[in-house]
Amino acid sequence: MMGSLFSSISGLRMHSTWMNVIGNNISNVNTVGYKYQRITFKEQITQSMGAASGADMAANIGGKNPMQMGLGGALGSIDTIMTQGAITTTGNSLDIAIQGEGFFTVKQGATTYYSRAGNFLQDNKGNVVNSSGMILQGWMGMLERTISDIPGVIENPETQIREATYTIDTSDVSMIGNINIPRDLRMAAQMTSYIKFAGNLDSNTPVNTYAAATPVPVGTATVLPSNYSPSGFPSVTGGNAVSQGTPWADPATPSPGPTNGVRDALNNTCFFFHVDPTNPNSAKVTPDHTATMTVYDALGNPRNITLWFFQHGVDYTGTGANVRPVWDWYAFDTTYVQGNSIYTGEPDYFNCIGGTNISMDLADTGVVAKAANENQEVWSAIWFNQDGSLASNGSYWGAGAGPIDGYAMTSASMTGSDGVIHYGPQLFFRQLPNAQGLSPDGAATPWSIVLDFGTPNSWDFTNANNPVGSADGVLRVNDNNNTPINSALPGLRDGVTGDVTGSFQIIGGVQTYVPNSTAYGKEQDGYRSGDLIGISVDSVGGIVGQFTNEKSITIAKVALATFLNPQGLAKSGDSLYSITSNSGTARMNVAGQGGSGTTIGGALEASNVDLASELTNMILAQRGFESNARIITTSADMLDTLVNVGR
């Protein structure tokens, strides 16, 4: 009978502990990232009342089971159940929920903790911390501190992101550290290195009125520079481009001034792009297509570029399948500065910086000439194959060993911030000394941009010296070594195309073809400087910064820790866990990799407590406690009866 008293006492103790666990679960029903606990019981020691014996068939005696009497129960385990909690949106940019396995890693001093609670914020130093001031751990991008080099000016170092394309190396776990995002973080400006074009130049466009069908004699004023060589081949055979009448751009000489922006061999008496090339006040010509875009110098100053395209007929060197549409192109610096005579915002001869049959003296650009006879480079036209793909991308002709009268075509190449090599003609900019209102203020010069009209390969051409099929009758135009990407194929359709996309319409009672050209600057890689104005978190733990220059980059990546036995972690308060010998070591991963879950920004993981189950368990715990208490009172009554028997 005394055994029943002790057994019931153990039962009271067990159910009291169960009620404590239930109370803790219910109290944390709204705690962020809380994982509920489950309690299990086990039987305590038993008292043997009789041993078991086996059957004896010879003696005709059956077997007996053991007789044992239990002496109560004991606590088996209190387990943390790591099931997924519900995801609730909060709108707070630094709230992060984990969908799947893993824990956030936070540090306080040298001590590391782990948590599922993702309610983070920034402190006054830019550290991303939890509510207890512990710093979130992850991989940071490379931020540089630059100091102003303006003489006589002393500034505090400013934290800047130098490029928007930097990568964060998450393969090295030794690089995991505090995530710190200064509130005054600034992205440095990046100058434009390329413009990628797309769209179409309708090959059925009628030849422009001002495009000459035959070469204009040297010394004669003409509207378009290409008229000195209508096919796009340079009129430099046998000598210097300037002496042959080819116009040239001179970025080192201010304009208007002693010389024009695009100069010629006529002693400044030819004013290109005007219907009367001898009169700079006459009306300007109308191109067949116009494209405009904004680019940026090294300081983030915006510069506007306008491209004019003129249909100039077909390549006269080709016949039959080798006839190719030819388009002239001209680039103008149409940046507008109020009251300035150069940056007027409108294309004109004095702000033309490159185009068909215009030469560029490499010495003026700051580019070191490859050979003594290659100082003059002449930009070519744009040719299209008959399938509408590019045959030539407007690159420049250079004097030297080449297939056409000693001239070879060479494309400039530029690896953009997108990691892609862009080929095409290269435009050069210099800050003109008298360009009031647009100061370079230390911007890099000369500054160049590659116009990526698309990727040509190579094509056969025919003239008197180069019949089709001859070894030197293949023009290669897509890199500095004149090596085609694939000499057996026409150009790629990855840029401007030369398809027929217009339609016939009745205009004034006459059926007229209306061309449809859509070529445009699809992308460029420059931008202004910008200040951090917002933060968000992506699905792979990237903390993405939004800047006032409309650029967004991943500034840091959150490190998630996974364990072989997450239930082996020890609770440390503040919704934190610590490693134990039974949890295993932390394996650090990027979200979504190595078995870790993904992250959801602007959201939190709710507690996984099932309130209905806890209320049910509370009833069971109460009944169990009451039943054990009743055993004690009943046993006491029985003892009283036993005592009274002796009276």
The H helix count followed by the E strand count for the chain is: 3, 45
How buried is 483 (Cβ within 10 angstroms: 0-12 exposed, 13-18 middle, 19+ buried)? exposed
Nearest to 549 by CA among 149, 22, 163: 163
**The pLDDT value given to residue 5:** 77
**The pLDDT value given to residue 33:** 93
Q: Do 284 and 274 contact (CB within 8 A), yes or no?
A: yes
The number of C-alpha atoms within 13 Å of 251 and in the hemisphere containing its C-beta is: 22
Residues of the chain with pLDDT under 70: 1, 3, 143-166, 218-219, 229-269, 315-324, 340-342, 360-377, 397-413, 429-446, 457-492, 646-647
Q: Report helix angle 2-27 to 611-645, nearest 10.
A: 160
pLDDT per position as a tens digit, 95-144? 999 999 999 999 999 999 999 999 999 999 999 999 999 999 999 987 65
Beta strands 447-452 and 194-198: pairing type? parallel
Q: Do 377 and 259 contact (CB within 8 A), yes or no?
A: no
The number of C-alpha atoms within 13 Å of 252 and in the hemisphere containing its C-beta is: 8
The number of C-alpha atoms within 13 Å of 518 and in the hemisphere containing its C-beta is: 11
CA distance 622 to 308: 87
Q: How many CB atoms lie within 10 A of CB 348?
A: 20
Nearest to 231 by CA among 331, 92, 372, 357: 357
Nearest to 341 by CA among 438, 435, 439, 440: 435
3-state percent helix, strand, coil for the chain, nearest multiple of 5: 15, 35, 50
CA distance 188 to 177: 24
Helix ranges, 171-257 (H): none
Q: Which two tokens stand for residue 300?
A: 């983030």
Nearest to 566 by CA among 541, 593, 597: 597
DSSP state of 350: G
Q: Which two tokens stand for residue 639?
A: 């003892």
**The pLDDT value given to residue 458:** 56
Q: Who contacts 219 (Cβ-Cβ below 8 Å, separation ≥6)?
A: 245, 265, 266
Beta strands 396-404 and 407-410: pairing type? antiparallel
Using CA atoms of 532, 536, 539, 542 in order, give the dihedral in degrees to the nearest 10.
30
Q: Do 23 and 39 contact (CB within 8 A), yes or no?
A: no
**The pLDDT value given to residue 375:** 47
Nearest to 530 by CA among 504, 551, 509: 551
CA distance 551 to 283: 41
β-bridge partners, 513: 504
CA distance 436 to 427: 22
Nearest to 353 by CA among 492, 494, 448, 286: 448
**The pLDDT value given to residue 437:** 42
Q: Which two tokens stand for residue 442?
A: 């230390």
Q: Which two tokens stand for residue 216?
A: 């204009």
Cis peptide before 256 (omega within 30 of 0): yes
Write the single-letter amino acid at 152: G
**Listing from the earlier edge strand, what are the strands of the sheet with 520-524?**
426-429, 447-452, 194-198, 520-524
The angle subtended at Cα 32 by Cα 31 and Cα 33, nearest 5°, is 110
**The pLDDT value given to residue 474:** 45
**The pLDDT value given to residue 384:** 82
Nearest to 400 by CA among 516, 480, 489: 480
**The pLDDT value given to residue 409:** 59
The number of C-alpha atoms within 13 Å of 359 and in the hemisphere containing its C-beta is: 28
**The pLDDT value given to residue 262:** 47
CA distance 493 to 87: 46
- Phi first, then psi: give them for residue 262, nearest 5 degrees: -105, 110
CA distance 146 to 155: 10
**The pLDDT value given to residue 67:** 86
Long-range contacts of 445-449 (CB under 8 A, 24+ apart): 445/366, 446/251, 446/365, 446/366, 446/367, 447/191, 447/297, 447/298, 448/193, 448/365, 448/412, 448/414, 449/192, 449/193, 449/194, 449/195, 449/295, 449/305, 449/524
CA distance 329 to 380: 9
Q: Which two tokens stand for residue 72?
A: 């109560």
CA distance 462 to 473: 7
The number of C-alpha atoms within 13 Å of 526 and in the hemisphere containing its C-beta is: 24
Nearest to 335 by CA among 308, 365, 285, 296: 296
Nearest to 274 by CA among 348, 333, 198, 366: 348
